[in-house]
Amino acid sequence: MSEAITKTGGLRVTGRSRGSRQVNTLPLLLPAVALLLLWSVLPLLRTLFYSFEHYNLMSPPAVLNGGLNYRYLFTDVSTWVAIENSVILVVGVLFASIVFGTLIALLLNNDFPGRNVARLMAIAPFFVMSPVAALIWKNLLLDPVSGLFGWLMMLVGLRPIAWFSTDPMTAVIIIYSWRWIPFATLILLTALQSLDTDQLEAARMDGAHGFARLRYIVLPHLGRPIAIVIMLESIFLLSAFAVIYTTTNGGPGDATTTLTYLIFIKALNDFSIGSASAAGVFAIVLANILAFFLIRAVSKNLQR
């Protein structure tokens, strides 16, 4: 804190500058912090407590049963099927988002008539709500009788595919990819616009062809934004629910039952709050482990 020192009649007068006055911000932050704790920590603690209870809404009251909920969770085959389906969904959507997002971003980075309109149309699907997107794809595009894809296949003499019956996971991946490719396109297109054009021009003058410039200049430049896309999409896709609920209800069988949908089944179909809470705690632990490694990878990439 700065001090102004003057002399008046041989006396030294010390005065504090008004601009350097310290303000205690703790009373201002305390209500927001308390509300955040009430909003997040208390439900988590309550869920953790429920996970150690035999709590079924059809047969109250709840009684403690130790770790039987977790024992049943880890010995149930449907749990590992749900984890496998979650991994397939996340990996499939990430692959489509990065590949097609990069291609679309490279195309939209060029100068052509109507580029702004094309960019807007390419990004627009990201703002469509998940249930709406699921209904569009289920009834208007992928339906084997009245869908657009079925009609196109019949035009070329092929038999329409009942996607949600024969290959439901592929259909779910297609819908989520349609929503998340625009997000990847937006991030990667923003990164491409920050690329030094002088470097590309120098490489072109040195005789580097288009593929070489893409491989050694453009793609390394996109490494960081791709890592950010992977981190953000992975966190959101682990909680994917709306599209599965609207289209397949986790089926046929458990073909599209992810860990998030398994929690829904245990809580609202089986009325087993204890088992659903145990699965929820397990999902939180998995999500935090994944987020920890992804954030570390992204932070190391940003420090380069």
pLDDT tens-digit readout, 220-267: 888 888 988 998 899 899 888 999 999 999 988 889 999 999 999 999
SS3 123: helix
Give tens-digit pLDDT for 6-22.
444 444 444 454 555 67
Percentage with pLDDT > 90 across the chain? 39
pLDDT digits (tens, 9 = 90+) for 94-119: 999 999 999 999 999 888 888 889 98
The answer to whether 189 and 200 have CB atoms below 8 angstroms apart is no
Query: What domains can you pick out in the chain, each with its CATH number?
Result: 63-302 (1.10.3720.10)
pLDDT at 37: 82
**Which pLDDT band, with edges at 50, 70 and 90, does 43 fall under?**
confident
Query: pLDDT digits over 129-161, tens only?
Result: 999 999 999 999 999 888 899 899 999 988 988
pLDDT for 212 beyond 90: no
User: Where does residue 298 rank: exposed (0-12), middle (13-18), buried (19+ CB within 10 A)?
Assistant: middle
Query: Mean pLDDT in the chain?
Result: 85
Token readout for 99 is: 């590949």
Residue 201 has pLDDT above 80, yes or no: no
Residue-wise pLDDT tens digits, 119-130: 889 999 998 899
- The least confident of 27-41, 66-80, 200-214, 227-241 is 200-214
Determine the Cα–Cα distance for residues 174 and 125; give it in Å rounded to an integer.
13
pLDDT of residue 31: 86
DSSP 223-270: HHHHHHHHHHHHHHHTT--HHHHHHTTT-STTTT--HHHHHHIIIIIS
Q: 166-198, pLDDT tens digit by residue?
A: 999 999 999 999 999 999 999 999 988 887 777
Rounded Cα gap, residues 70 and 57, in angstroms: 19
pLDDT at 2: 46
Facing residues of 63 across strands?
A: 54
Reply yes or no on whether the pLDDT at 26 is more than 50. yes
